[in-house]
Chains A and B, each alone.
Chain A
Amino acid sequence: MKKLFALFFAGFVVSAAYAQEAPDALVQRVTDDVLEIIRKDKDIQNGDTHKVIELVDKKVLPHFNFSHMTALALGKEWRKASPQQQQQLTAEFKTLLVRTYANALTGYKNQKVVYKPIKMAPADTDVLVRTEVLQPGSKPVQLDYSLEKLESGWKVYDVVVAGISLVTNYRDQFAQEVRNGGIDGLIASVAAKNKSLEANSKK
């Protein structure tokens, strides 16, 4: 009986630790959190890229699945890449995406985010969370997140702005690089891009 109780208790603790926040609630919490910080931070509003990247690293990154994102961006070639190449490319692409995302966050001011009701069944493991960014004087901008359910919780694997996937938009560019220099050539190109951006932002 004692054993059973211990087992039950252990199970309870584990399930509490892994209690999964619903995907739409997760998106809303993280977005509200990040926007709140940006609204209060004058440095970020004045375009301090490093500070936003730090913020994105801390608040947003844990909820992204970058290897899935990289696989999506690369398409069929992903399966031909060695595990090491996959890892390297994921690391470089992650740096680039974080910067892109950070830039997108600093660029917009005076915006308001509206969360659309989500359509999902309890058994779903892949959902789309739809939001809309409202700006005075312009059309609302659609901002959608694709999430998948992993053991560690819901993870974002695609961000779609006005119908443009920030991930699959790389597909042709990646394919071009692979044609020119193979997977290693692609890794080198993305790494070089990251390096030059880093050098520029230090100036």
Chain B
Amino acid sequence: MTTATAASTTKMALGATKVSLSWLNGWTIGTVIIAMIAITPIVTVIFISFTPSDDIWAHLVSTVLPLYISTTLLLMIGVGIGTLVIGVGTAWLVSMCRFPGKSMFEWALLLPMAMPAYVIAYLYTDILEYAGPIQTMLRDMFGWTTKREYWFPEIRSLGGAISMMTLVLYPYVYLLSRAAFMEQSICVLEASRVLGRGPVQSFFSVALPLARPAIIIGISLVLMEALNDFGTVDFFAVSTFTLGIYDVWLNMGNVAGAAQLATVLLLFVMALALAERFARRKKRFHHTTSKYKALPGYQLEGRARTVAVIACALPVIFGFVLPASVLTSYSFIHYKTAMSTEFLGYAFNSFMLSSVAAVLALAIGIFMAYGVRLHNEPLLKVMVRLASLGYAVPGSVLAVGVLVTLGSVDNGIDGFMRQTFGISTGLLLSGTIAAVTFGYLVRFLALAFGSVEASLGKVTPSMDGASRSLGHGAMSTLRRVHLPMIRGSILTASMMVFVDCMKELPLTVILRPFNFHTLATFVHQYASDEQLGEASLAALSIVGFGILPVIVLSLAITRSRPGHNKEEKA
């Protein structure tokens, strides 16, 4: 008896909105071409996996593969549950309840997002390891002298990795579920209240099921990040599947074997995605009404109020305030190294690259999501799904896919030009900013496409029908109807892509031009040798530059909610 199923009664066959006679039109062709370009590096990785790879599987299966798999699954389960509880819980609190500090928490809960996972892992190790201040203080207090006299959680462990990733990844779930909660029509919630359900029951039986597509996308983004993380698990020496891929690639010098492992990882992600689609195959999540008004805001009192404040404060403190303070204290010690003259240039590079990539990713994401909406062709659907897989491939492996793709294109053009005109064009794309941007797009398209698609899915097809029957074309309908309705999700998605690009490391390192640094690569050269202190100011700037748009956009998202600041809108 969820509203999700109720909503399905108004389901309209999308085919009814088709105006064109054939699906072979600009949208479809464009979508297919873009998807094919985005897929190429991934296909390249799969292609590499078909080259000989010794007996790598026999070796892995008999030694570490079971461990890789169990560790990875535990990591996914841990991070999945952690981000689900924190992300959805806090999103519900700040969207639907009123308590002290709510308007601050709305944006503050996003702050940990700007913190790269490997940086927070490094900082917490300093704080929590045997030699760190906490354990030293405990030893002084209780007179312990050796490690064997007491128990303390080991930070460099699977549990540590789960905690670190949960702290920096929950904002994805928070962002997407908050956007979903805010896009929910108040009517369904009022109906639920009228039917006698309290805030908690309404949450579980109405709001949560309706927000399911958005939450699922948030969780799947988180899981993909956790799955392909290298920095944190390498630092903690937690044997995940991804660490295994790098081991086979770099220590055994076996690129083909690494590509095979990466392909298996991809198949696993695809299977998960299919399972989820199957589970909600019959359900639709459109809003049946366009009646919006300001959200009610349950006024929390007494203990509930305290719990809400603490629940929202803890993730912000542990995910941002504490690590950022430690970083700040380091940057006072090391400001001389950090304040190099080139520093502003690095910040500029990071900012420009991330902005360009965010805008492009969004444009492409909207184009593809709308293309699929217009023409619900199976081929098209498969293509866009595949195009979003870049997010599931470990960064450096994807970078190799991009390298080989661009190298082939460049050398192909060069060979052709030499043969035909006797001139050499050299490398046109490889080792340029364009290559880095292309890498970012391949990697982060899933963020843009996923959030736009989820949001578009909530716009009932009757809207398309109405607009089209009033004589508006596909483009005009997109511009006048859909884009205004999903504005919040578009901003959310652009923010996620931007922040992820600011933090991005492996693609930038491998694809960049000569003498080119971003804040992240600058931090990396020190962090790779466990000298993060030297680069603390740059690390702090990644966070700082990442936060600015986060806050600005967060405010915009609040304003973008249909019905915000209006009593009622028909």
Whether both chains belong to one complex is answered with no
Instruction: Identify the B interface with A (CB < 8 A).
Output: none
Instruction: Identify the A interface with B (CB < 8 A).
Output: none
